[in-house]
Structure 1
Amino acid sequence: MEPIEVVITEENGNGRIDKVLSTVNPEWSRTQIQQWVKDGAVLVNEHTVKQNYKVKIGDHIVIIEPEPEELDIVAEDLSLDIVYEDEDVLVVNKPRGMVVHPAPGHVTGTLVNGLMYQVKDLSGINGVMRPGIVHRIDKDTSGLLMVAKNDLAHVSLVNQLVNKTVTRVYTALVHGHIPHDQGTIDAPIGRDVKDRQSMTIVDNGKHAVTHFKVLERFGNFTLVECKLETGRTHQIRVHMKYIGYPLAGDPKYGPKKTIEFNGQALHAGTIGFEHPRNGQYYEFTQPLPEDFQTLLKQLQNEKR
């Protein structure tokens, strides 16, 4: 790959090198540029610099863009349900029970394994184990995920998540009878010091907001719609437990005696975002999976 040369002028010469270079090529993320600087792949006036280097007018910068790393992930035909795809993004309907990306203990059968088989191009910003992945949903949560097919789309979608402009609406079945029709849970979430595999409400946690409204009541259970304002790990599961209505079937945050569902009854049914290339708002909705619908029919029959 040919080196890329940039001469700093008054138009682009202001601030840290990663910030400036990310404006030169929108497909380069600042994190990516910082790594290149650290690896010595960015030369300023024929010398390597530190990651916090501030560019000056007249600086001659050479970027030796690394060759794309070969992905050591097994492509598998998992017949993924891709509900939308274009040159920049795709939206996939992940089934319950599927892990999003490879990790210790889950190296095959993940969403990424399936994407590698079905999709020609995926962004590389998140590394070789998470190509295209800009956000996640839990293994036992079903529903819609955005996937980036190039780094330009990846940066745009991540920024939209950071700026809280992505629409994410879930359907959840929770224990208990929620008396009020709607509400907002504003409580910070962080690691549970007693259980590092779990999240909980902590004073110094990350800001987290969930809006919910009741869809149907079944005596000892309530069906709710949850709209995320933020996207913290296990956010809906932790927030609903916090107000006394844990998710049905949730082995981590729910009661020991719960329904038979092999995981939490949670479905990411709606996702909406601004398209990275044309700026138009796209929104997609998928119905509850069959097992979730069957569970609700059983509760409806018991209510009669």
Structure 2
Amino acid sequence: MNILADENIRIDKYISNKFEEIPREKVKDFIKDKKILVDEKKVKPSYKLELGDMINISDELFKKPEIRPEKMDIKIIYENEDYAIIDKDENVMVHPAGSIVTATLVNGLLEKFGYDNLSHIGGDDRPGIVHRLDKDTTGLMLIAKNNKSYKYFKDLFEKRKVDKEYFAICHGIFDNKKDTIETFIDRDPNNRRKMAVRPSGRKAISKYEVIKEANGFSLVKVKILTGRTHQIRVHMTYINHPILGDPVYGNVGHKFNLEHQLLHCHKLGFVDQSGEYKIFETEVHDDFKKYQKVLKLGD
């Protein structure tokens, strides 16, 4: 692959920004091995690009390793011949990304259902996956068991016809106990791994309601009308009530030994292929319950 440089930044940063699924360390290794050249010449990872530089990238950079089935404890809430509803644990990536091709939900789904019993038009590395939850966000996900089901539910999500409701424990006491947050969300220009409220982004709408508050924290119910990457985490930070434990957007000191956000998708509702409205609910997980109790925000 050949691409023309359009930024004056380090070549390793430029390529990892351009292809977000490829880790920067892998890019550096390819540069050192002369599998990424500039105008057919070897450069260092720190080389600062000039506008118009021709970057030559070996196709090997984009090859994906085989994704193998792995035994995983997947809690199934409901399933029929077309789809399944699961309750995802924390510390589980939904699908492979970059060099990470093991211990993802997809690996577990391949073991549980088999490739032929999952949709596969959403991407070779994403069988069954219609939508995502962040690695440490727990709760309900819909899994498509065939391509027809994938198309049906993908259309529902895109048309905002899926009801999605979350619980979160947030820093601070809210002035407005019930409100709608409507912004635009895009990549953070200073950190391509993060999202941010920016006018250049796509519309994002979240409705929240404070359920209980105590000790400087609030238990909040959030319904999202759109499905932007990191939407709830970005919105709660935007209104100065970041989610407790969020290592990326929180940036707020606390006394707890917690390095993952307390965010749980507890409800999914939609009209399925039978024409019947289905609603699924699940309790928050043990870690969430623990901090609810510690903070006196419920059992």
**1-side partners of 2:274 and 2:94: how far apart?**
27
Relative to structure 2, which stretch is displaced further, 101-110 or 207-216? 101-110
**2-side partners of 1:287 and 1:228: how far apart?**
18
**In the alignment, which residue of structure 2 is the partner of 1:63?**
none
Aligned pairs for 1:225-240 within 5 A:
225-240=221-236
Letter in 2 for 1:261: L
Aligned pairs for 1:185-204 within 5 A:
185-204=181-200
Report how far residue 281 of structure 1 moved: 1.2
CA contact (8 A) 1:175 1:222 kept: yes
Letter in 2 for 1:218: A
**Identical aligned residues as a percent:** 39
SS in 2 for 1:171: strand
CA contact (8 A) 1:72 1:128 kept: no
Q: Cα deviations across residues 98-147 of structure 1 (Å, max 9, x unaligned)?
A: 00011124211111111101114000111210001010000010001011
Aligned pairs for 1:1-304 within 5 A:
72-120=66-114, 121-258=117-254, 259-275=256-272, 277-300=273-296
**1-side partners of 2:157 and 2:282: how far apart?**
20
Q: Cα deviations across residues 252-281 of structure 1 (Å, max 9, x unaligned)?
A: 101241332220010011111221x31211
Letter in 1 for 2:267: T
**1-side partners of 2:263 and 2:81: how far apart?**
30
Structure 1: tracts of 5 or more residues without a match: 1-70
**2-side partners of 1:159 and 1:107: how far apart?**
28
Q: How many residues align?
A: 231
CA contact (8 A) 1:124 1:131 kept: yes
Report how far residue 180 of structure 1 moved: 2.3
SS in 2 for 1:225: strand
**2-side partners of 1:105 and 1:283: how far apart?**
36
Letter in 1 for 2:183: A
Query: Which structure has the larger Rg over C-alpha atoms?
Result: 1
**1-side partners of 2:190 and 2:98: how far apart?**
22
Letter in 2 for 1:265: L
Structure 1 residue ranges (4+ consecutive) displaced by more than 2 angstroms after TM superposition: 258-262
Report how far residue 293 of structure 1 moved: 0.3
SS in 2 for 1:139: coil
**1-side partners of 2:99 and 2:293: how far apart?**
35
Q: Cα deviations across residues 232-263 of structure 1 (Å, max 9, x unaligned)?
A: 00000000111111111001101241332220
**2-side partners of 1:167 and 1:261: how far apart?**
29
CA contact (8 A) 1:134 1:158 kept: yes
- TM-score (norm. length: structure 1): 0.74
SS in 2 for 1:207: strand
**1-side partners of 2:259 and 2:82: how far apart?**
35
Report how far residue 74 of structure 1 moved: 1.1
**1-side partners of 2:264 and 2:185: how far apart?**
21
Structure 2: tracts of 5 or more residues without a match: 1-64
CA contact (8 A) 1:175 1:247 kept: yes
**2-side partners of 1:279 and 1:72: how far apart?**
38
SS in 2 for 1:233: coil
Letter in 2 for 1:92: I
SS in 1 for 2:164: strand
**1-side partners of 2:238 and 2:109: how far apart?**
35
Letter in 2 for 1:266: L
Aligned alpha-carbon RMSD (Å): 1.5
**1-side partners of 2:210 and 2:135: how far apart?**
25
**1-side partners of 2:247 and 2:109: how far apart?**
28
